[in-house]
Structure 1
Amino acid sequence: MAYQPYQAYKDNSVNTATPGELTLMLYNGCLSFIKQAKKAIETENFEKKNEFIQKSQNIIRELMVTLDQDAPIAKQMLPLYDFAHHALTQGNIQNDTEQLTAAEDIMRQFRDTWKDVVKQERIRQHGQGVRS
Structure 2
Amino acid sequence: MSINNPYQTYQTNSVFSAPPGELTLMLYNGCLKFIKQAHLAIQNKNIEQKNKSLQAAQNIILELMSTLNMDMDVSKQLMPLYDFIYRQLIQANLRNDLTVLTEAERLVTEFRDMWKEVIQINKQKQTSQGGQA
Q: TM-score, normalised by structure 2?
A: 0.91
Q: d(CA) in 1 for partners of 2:13 and 2:53?
A: 24
RMSD of Structure 2 on Structure 1 (CA)? 1.2
Gaps (5+ residues) in structure 1?
128-132
Match of 2:33 in 1: 32
Q: d(CA) in 2 for partners of 1:11 and 1:125?
A: 26
Match of 2:131 in 1: none
SS at match of 2:73: coil
Q: d(CA) in 2 for partners of 1:2 and 1:86?
A: 39
Match of 2:60 in 1: 59
Q: After superposition, what is the alpha-carbon deviation per residue over 1:32-81, rounded to whole angstroms, capped at 9, x for unaligned?
A: 00000000000000001000000000000111111110111112111111
Larger Rg: 2
Q: d(CA) in 2 for partners of 1:54 and 1:26?
A: 14
Alpha-carbon offset, residue 101 of structure 1: 0.7
> Which amino acid in structure 2 is aligned with residue 99 of structure 1?
V
Q: TM-score, normalised by structure 1?
A: 0.91
Give me the identity figure in percent: 52
Gaps (5+ residues) in structure 2?
129-133
How many residues align? The count is: 127
